[in-house]
Amino acid sequence: MNLNDAQKKNLIEWIAQGMKLSEIQRRIDSEFGIVMTYMEVRFLVDDLKLTPKDPEPPKPVVTDGDSTIAGPATIKGEPAKVTSKADGRIPSGQAVSVKVDTVARPNSLVSGNVTFSDGNSAEWYLDQMGRLGLSPKQAGYKPSPADLQAFQIELQEELQKLGF
């Protein structure tokens, strides 16, 4: 899809304002009268060599440079402890993706899957006693402390959206 120079200028401004691609898709339709799929908008932004801004991730609460998952959390029977940097921020460039199952696995309150920044994935569950467990798909895999911290934050956000 080709846009004229004025339309491209508007698109660049929307990206600079931090608009999401779905919002840009709606604006292109409403303001330009051009119906585009999400993927077409994504390709258009890429063709213009623009990079959408990611929202600022929430900063975790850190005490003495050390952060521990609240509650009796375990990973394969071991207490799950996440050590963060002194400033409490997750290193940039790392993305952890958390999915919640629509039907929880047996003996769990809620369950789902997680993909860590290095591409490895695991199944996770939260049982009726409030214990968090991870079962990596690759035997012996242990996610980095930063990934565990990002997983905890993402999981908390996803569960809050669902009312847990």
User: Using an 8 Å Cβ cutoff, are 32 and 3 in contact?
Assistant: yes
Return the H-helix or E-strand segment holding 11: helix 5-16
| Alpha helical stretches, state H, 17-131 | 21-27, 38-47
Spatial separation of the C-alpha atoms in residues 91 and 93, rounded to whole Å? 7
8-state DSSP, 161: H
pLDDT of residue 73: 41
pLDDT at residue 159 greater than cutoff 50: yes
| Residue 3 confidence (pLDDT) | 83
Sheet holding 110-115, edge to edge: 97-100, 110-115, 121-126, 132-136
* pLDDT tens digits, 90-149: 444 458 899 999 898 888 889 999 999 888 999 999 888 888 888 899 888 988 888 889
Give how far Cα 125 sits from Cα of 10, 37, 93, Å. 45, 35, 26
**The token pair that represents 31 in the structure block:** 């303001």
Q: What is the pLDDT of residue 58?
A: 59
Domains of the chain by residue range: 5-47, 67-161
